[in-house]
Amino acid sequence: MIHNTRISKRVKEKHKKAIRNVIKGLSRKVEVYKQPRKLECPNCYYDKFTESSTGKSKWTAVEALTKQAEYEAGGGESLRYKWFKHGRCPVCRGQGFLTVKRKVWADCIVTWDPQAGRNSVTYTPAGTEGSTIVQLKTDPKNYDLFKNSDRIVVDGVECKLSKPPILRGLGTQSVLIITAFTTEKPSIDSGEIIKDYI
């Protein structure tokens, strides 16, 4: 009996997981780029007046080596500490700060050209004529992520939000709707036109 209970529990969990996977299967991973964050260079002294590096290393050669090793041991992958005599800091290249790109993946149901075949007027933000609209449906928990995003990449195509995300529905039924437009023009089309003329 104990054995049977165990099995049924396992089957139930498997079933639950399967349903979750079906929902997940409908959605795709969308890359969301948060606004890049400026971080004061960990390797050199920052000059507030010139808003750039002072060209002076914060560390001795040994200190820099130790710090870099510690940083890498903690999972860091970039160059953060490197001793230099004087002049251009090798970490920030003399800027005095680092720009940290922050990318997050979000599960979304993707619909390209959502207005196609409908009678409604397509919303076209100024200056985006000729770009394709894409609609994303995602978990409401992603509201701030998308609202503060710099750009997003859908199916490998770079896009920008055309308006703030819209929350639709109530409670557990609610869904977040994101409307974005492509910022890169498809190069395949222009290539075909050129071919025609040749």
Q: Which stretch binds Zn ion (CB under 5 A): 81-89, 125-133, 143-151, 167-175?
A: 81-89
Of 49-57, 132-140, 145-153, 179-187, the window that binds Zn ion (rule: CB under 5 A) is 49-57
Q: What are phi and psi of 50, to 5 degrees?
A: -90, -5
Q: Smaller CB distance to Zn ion: residue 49 or 197?
A: 49
Alpha carbon distance 70, 54 (integer Å): 25
Q: CB atoms < 10 A from the CB of 131, how many?
A: 20
- Assess 98 for contact with Zn ion (CB under 5 A): no
Q: In this chain, which of 30, 32, 44, 180 binds Zn ion, going by CB under 5 A?
A: 44
The pair of structure tokens assigned to 43 is 């390797």
Out of 30, 32, 41, 136, the residue judged to bind Zn ion by CB under 5 A: 41
- Closer to Zn ion by Cβ: residue 90 or 114: 90
Does 89 contact Zn ion by CB under 5 A?
A: yes
Q: Cβ of residue 42: shortest distance to Zn ion, in angstroms? A: 8
Identify which of 116, 88, 128, 102 has the alpha carbon closest to the alpha carbon of residue 39: 102
- DSSP secondary structure, 56-105, as one string: EESS-HHHHHHHHHHHHHTT--S------SSSS-TTTTTSSEEEEEEEEE
Binding of Zn ion by 57 (CB under 5 A): no
Q: Does 64 bind Zn ion (CB under 5 A)?
A: no
Toward Zn ion, which CB reaches closer, 44 or 136?
44
The token pair at 149 is 């995003």
Q: Which of 64, 91, 159, 176 binds Zn ion (CB under 5 A)?
A: 91
